[in-house]
Amino acid sequence: MINLKRNPKVGFVSLGCPKALVDSERILTQLRTDGYDISPDYAGADVVVVNTCGFIDSARQESLEAIGEALTANGRVIVTGCLGKNAEDIRSVHPRVLAVTGPQQYEAVVSAVHLHAPPTQAHDPFTNLVPASRSDPVSRDAENGGIGIKLTPRHYAYLKISEGCNHKCSFCIIPSMRGKLVSRPVGEVLDEAERLVAAGVKELLVISQDTSAYGIDLKYKLDFWGGRPLRTRMKELCEGLGSLGAWVRLHYVYPYPHVDEIIPLMAEGKILPYLDIPFQHGSKDVLRRMRRPAASENNLERINRWREICPEITIRSTFIVGFPGETEAEFAELIDFLDAAQLDRVGCFKYSPVAGAAANALEGAVPEEVKQERWDRFMQAQAIISRKRLQYKIGSIQAVLVDAVEPGRAIGRSMADAPEIDGIVTIRHPPGFRPAAHKPNAPSPGALRPGALVQVAIDSADDYDLAGSLVSATGA
Ligand code: SF4
């Protein structure tokens, strides 16, 4: 029974990718605006929302387990997110869930919360956009201009520029879950970015399903930002973001020719020299079977051209091994591609069928032991490349954004490292380090704090991470 004398409390479990995390932030912000408190645990919650991921089978399984855990611990559970697209799949496993809503159905999930844990007092959104609360996971609330609740640390934020996707990659069901591409007008995105930076965000991580396609659905519509006309297009977006004084990192970019226009902005230091491009394979035949966007582009030529314009560019990518029909020769092409491309950061997945994906109908399923063996070979090949590329950085001075301070060391990331998916830089100076007073620009004891931008002299590297000493409190 809900106690009507206090604000109802909502527990929240957020699973999946950064795009789902942004959805969670939006739902939580609306709930706080509606007068709900956020419960840090199941026991204190009147209702629990589970934002699920349904991208691959292991993610679906994890989501179903999270729903089961919330049901056992609390009993009053509302499900939303990608897995919610097929409510029956959830109800067949967990018939006790109170409601199921799909991805981007913000109003529907908030309405379900209102229905099952009604708000007790009217909250006035005109006087207090997001009520402050100690129990907010991380709150960027009233004092920062009403930009909502954020689930990442204060110093970085994901900036979602569009929803959905117009492609039909044969292994992917995202377009059927999230629909066609819908871009946000450029003025709206830049306004949000400006508010985030004003609130102390030092790094903006641009996310979408396909960042290169930004604005296509709007026919690159003219919009306004700060009274200035701008087209809703990738280059103009990057120029606007680059003027804000924060690190700007691009994710989910496809290697279309117009991406070439962005590289000079990286060379000029306006946005980070970093591109996250999911190439997925190095064999044109496999890419065609995957129905990948830009499958016919010469990716090696393009990478080489980018490096000529911006030699310090970091390229991160993901690949799939064991896609249906992948022959040993096609896998060898992938390894050759890796050798030739010398990518900085690489993730690799063993293909696993996703219910509803077109690739399920392809012939030539690769046996699990062959997938494993190819994955091992792939990872060994990339570890050598990664180690070699990081060795080149020994002796250099890198700008590092501090993420965490621990006894005796701090952990940060260089321009080449996105949070969660790339490497780290260990800064070995203890937090209480007191510099010699005569050194110009010497770091103060407070220099190492989360969100600080510092300079680090790199003196060692392993396969994926760097380590070094603090040399200056000014990383820019
Ligand atoms: S580009 Fe392909 S993999 Fe990415 S969301 Fe669209 S269909 Fe899925």
Determine the Cα–Cα distance for residues 213 and 250; give it in Å rounded to an integer. Answer: 13
The sheet carrying 156-160 orders its strands as: 156-160, 203-207, 247-250, 274-276, 314-321, 345-350
Q: Taking residues 147-172, what's their average pLDDT?
A: 88
The candidate with the shortest Cα–Cα distance to 197, out of 147, 123, 270, 252, is: 147
Q: With contact defined as beta carbons under 8 Å apart, do 160 and 208 qualify? A: yes
Averaged over 361-382, what is the pLDDT? Answer: 96
Looking at per-residue pLDDT, the higher value among 322 and 439 belongs to 322
Q: How far is the CA of 96 from the centre of ligand 1 (A)?
A: 33
- For residues 51 and 15, the answer to whether their CB atoms sit within 8 Å is yes
- Residues 79/114, Cβ–Cβ less than 8 Å: no
Give the C-alpha separation, 237 to 186, whole Å.
Answer: 6
CA of 83 from ligand 1 middle (Å) equals 17
Residue 450 near ligand 1, beta carbon < 6 Å: no
Q: How confident is the model at residue 408 (pLDDT cuts 50, 70, 90)?
A: confident
Stronger pLDDT, 148 or 391, i.e. the higher one? 391
175 in contact with ligand 1, CB cutoff 6 A: yes
Ligand 1 center–CA 287 separation, angstroms: 13
* C-alpha 172 to ligand 1 mean position (Å): 6
Residue 454 pLDDT > 60, yes or no?
yes
Give yes or no for residue 137 having a pLDDT over 50.
Answer: no
Q: Quote the pLDDT of residue 436.
A: 42
Model pLDDT, residue 147:
57
Alpha carbons within 13 A on the beta-carbon side of 33: 16
**Quick one: 26 exposed, middle or buried, by C-beta within 10 A (0-12, 13-18, 19+)?**
middle
- Nearest residue to 145 (alpha-carbon basis) of 239, 29, 2, 247: 29
**Of all protein residues, whose CA lies closest to atom 4 belonging to ligand 1?**
209
Is the model's pLDDT at 139 over the cut of 50? no
Higher pLDDT, 429 or 336: 336
Q: What is the pLDDT of residues 18-37, one digit of tens each?
A: 888 888 888 888 888 888 88
> Does ligand 1 lie within 6 Å of residue 209's CB atom?
yes
CA 21 – ligand 1 centroid, Å: 18
173 CA closest ligand 1 atom index: 8
Mutation probe of ligand 1 site: the residue of 207, 209, 292 with most atoms within 8 A of C-beta:
209
Question: Rounded distance, CA 10 to CA 49, Å?
Answer: 7
Question: What is the rounded average pLDDT of the residues 155-168?
Answer: 93
Residue type, 100: V
Q: What is the pLDDT of residues 50-65, one digit of tens each?
A: 999 877 777 888 899 9
pLDDT of residue 435: 46
* pLDDT > 70 fraction of the chain, expressed in percent and rounded: 88
Q: Which pLDDT does position 251 carry in this prediction?
A: 96
Distance set, CA 267 to CA 158, 270, 271, 352, 458 (Å): 23, 8, 8, 38, 22
Please indicate whether residue 294, judged by its CB atom, sits closer than 6 Å to ligand 1.
no
* Residue 39: pLDDT over 80: yes
Ligand 1 and 419: CB distance under 6 A: no
pLDDT score of 151 more than 60:
yes
pLDDT band, residue 445 (cuts 50/70/90): low
Nearest CA to ligand 1 atom 1: 167
Q: Is 130 a residue whose pLDDT tops 50?
A: no
Examine the pLDDT at 354 and tell me if it is beyond 90.
Answer: no
Among 270, 78, 84, 92, smallest CA distance to 177 is for: 84
Ligand 1 touching residue 179 (CB < 6 A): no
Kindly state the average pLDDT of the residues 165-179.
Answer: 89
Q: State how far the Cα of 292 lies from the Cα of 339, in Å rounded to an integer.
A: 21
pLDDT at 181 over 90: yes
Provide mean pLDDT across the span 6-28: 87
Residue 19 alpha carbon to ligand 1 centre in Å:
13
Of 263, 26, 44, the C-alpha closest to 130 is 26
Residue 283 has pLDDT above 80, yes or no: yes
Our mutation pick for probing the ligand 1 site, out of 104, 160, 165, counting the most ligand atoms within 8 A of Cβ, is 165
Angle (nearest 5°) at CA 345 between 341 and 351? 85
- On average, the pLDDT of the chain sits at 87
CA of 166 to the centre of ligand 1 (A): 8
pLDDT exceeds 90 at position 351: yes
pLDDT tens across 459-473, in order?
999 989 999 999 887
Closest by alpha carbon to 6, among 29, 36, 28?
36
pLDDT score recorded for residue 34: 84
Cα of 178 to ligand 1 centre, how many Å? Answer: 10
pLDDT in tens, 73-118: 999 999 998 888 888 889 999 999 999 998 878 888 888 999 899 8
Rounded to the nearest angstrom, the distance between the alpha carbon of 169 and the centre of ligand 1 is: 5
The verdict on the CB of residue 357 being under 6 Å from ligand 1 is: no
174 lines ligand 1 (CB under 6 A): yes
Atom of ligand 1 nearest to the CA of 210: 1
- pLDDT tens for 227-276 read 999 999 999 999 999 999 999 999 999 988 889 999 999 999 999 999 99
Q: Is the pLDDT of residue 368 over 50?
A: yes
The residue contributing the CA closest to ligand 1 atom 8 is 172
Q: Can you tell me the distance from the alpha carbon of 342 to that of 117, in angstroms, rounded to the nearest whole number?
A: 54
Look at 25-39, 267-281, 319-333, 403-417 and tell me which has the smallest mean pLDDT.
25-39
Residue given tokens 């040993």 in the structure block: 328
Does residue 5 register a pLDDT over 70? no
Ligand 1 atom showing the smallest separation from residue 165 Cα: 6
Arithmetic mean of pLDDT, 353-382: 93
Q: Given the CA of residue 293, which atom of ligand 1 is nearest to it? A: 1
What pTM did the predictor assign? 0.82
Pick the atom of ligand 1 nearest to 209's CA: 5
Asked whether 165 lines ligand 1 (CB < 6 A), one says: yes
| Higher local confidence (pLDDT), 149 or 450 | 450
Per residue, the 3-state secondary structure of the chain, as one string, reads: CCCCCCCCEEEEEECCCHHHHHHHHHHHHHHHHCCCEEECCCCCCCEEEEEECCCCHHHHHHHHHHHHHHHHHCCCEEEEEHHHHCHHHHHHHCCCCCEECCCCCHHHHHHHHHHHCCCCCCCCCCCCCCCCCCCCCCECCHHHCCCCECCCCCCEEEEECEECCCCCCCCCCHHHHHCCCEECCHHHHHHHHHHHHHCCCCEEEEECCCHHHCCCCCCCCEEEECCEEEECCHHHHHHHHHCCCCEEEECCCCCCHHHHHHHHHHHCCCCCCEEECCCECCCHHHHHHHCCCCCCCCHHHHHHHHHHHCCCCEEEEEEEECCCCCCHHHHHHHHHHHHHHCCCEEEEEECCCCCCCHHHHCCCCCCHHHHHHHHHHHHHHHHHHHHHHHHCCCCCEEEEEEEEEECCEEEEEECCCCCCCCCCEEECCCCCCCCCCCCCCCCCHHHCCCCCEEEEEEEEECCCCEEEEEEECCCC
168 C-alpha to ligand 1 centroid (Å):
6
